[in-house]
Chain A
């Protein structure tokens, strides 16, 4: 497993080689996990909806790779990759999707509600935009207590057309809260293209209306994502909210069962040429003196971790029926 909390990184600093290899491993781990979920879902082993992160790995790994341990992360329902980047063991992720007691949320949340507060990952949230006010409140609490933590809130382009987005961005500026707003612009809200749903297609422009500094960055290249995040996390710690728009693309449908009538195969193929793992691999081979053998070895390791995770989850227990009422009330 990647140890996400091992090094304090200086803002703007380029990644060292070990960090790069960790993050390469992490991105491959996410890819293999999602491919496995696709199969397991078709085999009927996973209930509910399934939203895959394939194609967007550089966003999660780049953004969260740059955070400090005290920084909170909260995201929407496409959360498997974010969970891995936050350091959650794939075993407990697979177990959650299987509905097992050993899952991150004890089998109560499922695919869209992964979380681990010890690792400062505050969830996967399934109502579009609704976690943005939650992020506002968490950042308010950190400021209230004098902590230097930043809350990193990831959301899709689709969320930026709803009321929560505007209420939360506005309040974050009014209260001057330490939040890094990260828009994962994968260019579709379900099947509706950005230009069909948003009055401005450059989402970062919406931050302008709130006087919030902002930037649009290539979300397929982890080095660019990492650098932009490091730099801007530092700004947030000093100055308050920042809005980072990351241009990305999901290679699979919105969820399993999406007939994908809304986009052409040529468009998908074009984006696939920018596979974030491919881009990173090319970089590692060309500038860091790494060999195919080293990277293939990392990929094989990731593959076996996922296989182990599936075995673990299959063997682990369902919650007992007696526990039905657990966690409804504390008192």
Chain B
């Protein structure tokens, strides 16, 4: 197994699927000649050409709208949104069209579109460029929402997303692109809608995904040095949500901390906690703890911003509170 970065994993997934299937193409702002704002599609334009690596105007409504239309006509577009914050400019296309067209026309066609969007805070970009609104997208039936936390999952999930026939919001975290991990050399597909135990333990369960998975790994190692062994369940997909491994782990540890980067109100933690209470109330030995971003638009100032985002120390403290 090769050790590669998250950026390389995502890049490989797109490259391999474009090589495999001519119906797959990528479009978005600066995906072509520039090579991708985050360098994910570097070299693609020269290899695949401008028809399949399509630079677009800065116009998110028509980026997602045209991708929807191309999907209706049978192609398999990957539409890149430079950041997930810009998805709000395309919200009508994502929510009213990607998610709903198939049902509204009685299943006459499919919308096999993958919307890649980069999210997350912590880079001093100000409030409009730093959001983690994953739960917003997970609210809508008809969409699938995927957000990997390791290079291996990023590659396998993205390849699956491109091959399957439903609209997928594929949410990447900008601060994870340099994270390295082992990725299988052979064909590697990870199913959408399957949560995964990423670390075994017996004292408490951390339920998390994406960037917060990486922070939870660090927290888990420090807790381990104090003799506390946490189990980490990585959601990987927010919709459809696979509660199986979450409930199973909670039944074993009887304590849970849910860690997300987005805001707490109406968020991923709210959903997971409610479901745990619905499905495994009798197994709770402590109130379920939610750790999330403080309820504030993220400020530019470094310390203020970091203060608003869950840190490793916060995760450690939260785990200790449920013990």
Interface string of B83-123 (1 = CB under 8 A from A): 00000000011001100011111111110000000000000
A137 near B68 with CB under 8 A, answer yes
- A312 lies within 8 A of chain B by Cβ: no
Cα A120 to Cα B141 in complex, Å, equals 27
Interface string of A112-135 (1 = CB under 8 A from B): 010111000011000100101111
Interface string of B136-162 (1 = CB under 8 A from A): 000001101000000000000000000
Neighbouring A residues of B61 by C-beta, 8 Å: 133, 163-164, 167
Cα A329 to Cα B145 in complex, Å, equals 13
A152 CB to nearest B CB, Å: 13
Cα A116 to Cα B109 in complex, Å, equals 10
Cα A170 to Cα B77 in complex, Å, equals 20
Cα A108 to Cα B57 in complex, Å, equals 34
B106 near A137 with CB under 8 A, answer no
A171 near B142 with CB under 8 A, answer no
Interface size of A in residues (CB-CB distance below 8 Å): 42
B105 near A144 with CB under 8 A, answer no
Q: Which residues in window 173-191 of B have CB below 8 A to A?
A: none
- A103 lies within 8 A of chain B by Cβ: yes
- A22 lies within 8 A of chain B by Cβ: no
- B64 lies within 8 A of chain A by Cβ: yes
Interface string of A212-227 (1 = CB under 8 A from B): 0000000000000000
B66 near A140 with CB under 8 A, answer yes
B68 near A133 with CB under 8 A, answer yes
Cα A103 to Cα B108 in complex, Å, equals 12
Return the chain A residue nearest B164 by Cβ. A331
Return the chain A residue nearest B56 by Cβ. A171
- B44 lies within 8 A of chain A by Cβ: no
Neighbouring A residues of B209 by C-beta, 8 Å: none
Question: A141-B73, A144-B51 are known contacts. Are A171 and B62 too (CB-CB below 8 A)?
Answer: yes
Q: Could you say which of A115, A117, A133, A144 contacts B65, with CB atoms under 8 Å apart?
A: A133
Neighbouring A residues of B54 by C-beta, 8 Å: 175
Q: Which residues of A contact B (CB under 8 A)?
A: 72, 103-109, 113, 115-117, 122-123, 127, 130, 132-142, 144, 163-164, 167-168, 170-171, 174-175, 326-331
Q: Which residues of B contact A (CB under 8 A)?
A: 25, 51, 54, 56-57, 59, 61-62, 64-75, 77, 92-93, 96-97, 101-110, 141-142, 144, 164-166, 192, 240
Q: What are some 14 contacts across the A-B interface (CB < 8 A)? A: A106-B106, A108-B106, A113-B105, A115-B108, A133-B68, A136-B66, A137-B70, A138-B73, A163-B61, A164-B61, A167-B61, A170-B62, A329-B166, A330-B110
